């Protein structure tokens, strides 16, 4: 059995938190239309409950992301890696900000655009994360 290391624990926490943030939105996209059709009053309850799990997960992904930054010698990586990392962090921040607009927004536009941008930026951040593993 391979022994756990601080690096594997750091990446495990980062990817699990990222999976809750991204995967949770995928599940919501799948179940909310059905809930809205059958129990419209429950939609808000489900969204609030997701938020109670999603925002702590987002905090963990940002904190472990900063830890990652502390462990990766970014100055010693390729320009392509640095650009990918910058784009990834920007997408992660856009994802959080858009999700906040979606949560506190009252207009249909804030709900729709905030939700869509938050979801797509999170997906793209996840993909950029795996791009980073293809080489420094």
Chain residues that interact with ligand HEM, rule: CB under 6 A: 11, 14-15, 18, 21-22, 61-62, 65-66, 68-69, 71-72, 85, 89, 92, 95, 122, 125-126, 129-130, 132-133
Q: How far apart are CB 72 and ligand HEM at their closest, in Å?
A: 5
Which of 52, 53, 73, 56 has the alpha carbon at shortest distance from 64? Answer: 56
Q: How far apart are CB 64 and ligand HEM at their closest, in Å?
A: 7
**Comparison of 21 and 50: residue with beta carbon closer to ligand HEM:** 21
Distance CA(77)–CA(94), nearest Å, equals: 24
Residue 129, CA distances (Å) to 26, 37, 62, 133 in order = 18, 36, 13, 7
**Comparison of 11 and 111: residue with beta carbon closer to ligand HEM:** 11
């Amino acid at each position: 059995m391979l022994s756990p290391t601080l690096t594997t624990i750091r990446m495990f926490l980062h990817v699990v938190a990222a999976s809750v943030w991204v995967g949770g939105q995928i599940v919501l996209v799948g179940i909310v239309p059905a809930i809205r059709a059958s129990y419209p009053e429950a939609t808000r309850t489900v969204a609030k409950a997701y938020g109670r799990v999603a925002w702590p997960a987002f905090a963990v992904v940002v904190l472990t992301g900063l830890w990652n930054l502390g462990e990766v010698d970014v100055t010693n990586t390729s320009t392509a890696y640095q650009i990918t990392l910058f784009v990834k962090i920007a997408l992660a921040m856009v994802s959080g900000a858009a999700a906040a607009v979606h949560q506190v927004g009252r207009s249909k536009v804030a709900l729709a655009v905030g939700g869509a941008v938050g979801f797509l930026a999170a997906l793209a951040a996840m993909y950029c994360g795996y791009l980073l593993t293809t080489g420094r």
